[in-house]
């Protein structure tokens, strides 16, 4: 199932700048019973991205189209792409531009229950994230760093990989955000230089604050990660996975991780 500019379609024009330059943004949205989850957060991130990349976007129209698409999809994953549209050869963006939207639907991925219940192992990726504040936090279409990082392992014993930036700071998973717990303080890496500001990351921070859990966003070193009391990953499709092991370091599945896991699961059950 796929739509282009709000209408069923099977392809994308070859001159679209999304294909030539990755000139655009995307959102990966969980759809349950015909409704997109964390919808407002997805739209907020998309709006910010369009503003920063100077891509004009009618968010109200897009919201209406995405709701209709989700209703037809019923359940699964809706991927939304907003590109700058078509343009002539060369990097210079067309002025004015005619943005294009692409929506595709697919089944929810199958994740082993053990990932959420027992925790996961992380692969220590050698691929580093470039530090680029202009793009930091955005879910832009150029994901080559993640492609290279994911190609580093094939063993299914690893559920995700740990990514650091070129200065060595811990940033995120290949397809997730990362949190640690140290002395009952919930900490997640700053995404001011690189990384993707996940919608589930924002939801976890809000749920923690509502529950009276102190939080901090800041730089995180590998040494801090190794000395953490608890570690977990999150994304909008699976919620929260405790991290059980990285290299030789093993963590327990802690009480705060379980508490936040339940709070996040309740969001889906209420949808």
Instruction: Kindly list the catalytic residues.
Output: 28, 139, 172
Beta strands at 170-173 and 239-246: parallel, antiparallel or unpaired: unpaired
Residue 7, burial from CB neighbour count under 10 angstroms (0-12, 13-18, 19+) = exposed
Report the relative pairing of strands 120-129 and 158-165 from DSSP bridges. Answer: parallel
Question: Which contacts (CB < 8 Å, 24+ apart) does range 209-215 have?
Answer: 211/259, 211/260, 211/263, 213/184, 213/186, 213/256, 213/260, 214/184, 214/185, 214/186, 215/185, 215/186, 215/187, 215/188
Closest CA to 123 of 79, 92, 86, 154: 154
Pair 70, 29: CB distance under 8 Å:
yes
Cα gap 34→120, rounded to integer Å:
30
Strand-pairing partners, residue 165, are 129
Judge contact between 168 and 157, C-beta under 8 A: no
CA-closest candidate to residue 198, choices 24, 77, 67, 27 = 27
């Amino acid at each position: 199932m796929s739509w282009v500019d709000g209408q069923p379609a099977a392809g994308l024009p070859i001159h679209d700048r999304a294909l030539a330059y990755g000139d655009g943004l995307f959102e990966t949205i969980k759809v349950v019973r015909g409704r997109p989850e964390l919808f407002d957060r997805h739209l907020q991130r998309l709006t910010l991205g369009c503003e920063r990349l100077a891509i004009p976007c009618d968010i109200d129209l897009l919201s209406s189209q995405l709701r209709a698409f989700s209703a037809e999809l019923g359940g699964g994953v809706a991927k939304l792409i907003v590109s700058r549209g078509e343009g002539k050869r060369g990097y210079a963006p067309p002025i004015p531009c005619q943005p294009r939207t692409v929506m595709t639907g697919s089944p929810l991925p199958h994740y082993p229950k053990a990932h959420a219940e027992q925790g996961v192992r992380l692969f220590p990726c050698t691929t580093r994230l470039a530090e680029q504040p202009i793009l930091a936090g955005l879910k832009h279409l150029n994901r080559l760093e993640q492609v290279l990082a994911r190609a580093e392992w094939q063993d299914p014993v690893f559920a995700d990989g740990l990514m650091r930036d070129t200065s060595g700071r811990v940033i995120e998973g290949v397809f997730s955000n990362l949190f640690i717990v140290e002395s009952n303080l919930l900490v997640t890496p700053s995404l001011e230089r690189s990384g993707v500001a996940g919608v589930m990351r924002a939801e976890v921070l809000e749920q923690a604050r509502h529950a009276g859990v102190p939080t901090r966003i800041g730089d995180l070193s590998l040494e801090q990660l190794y000395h953490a009391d608890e570690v977990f990953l999150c994304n909008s499709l699976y919620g929260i996975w405790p991290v059980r092991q990285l290299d030789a370091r093993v963590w327990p599945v802690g009480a705060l991780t379980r508490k936040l896991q339940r709070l996040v699961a309740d969001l889906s059950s209420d949808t």
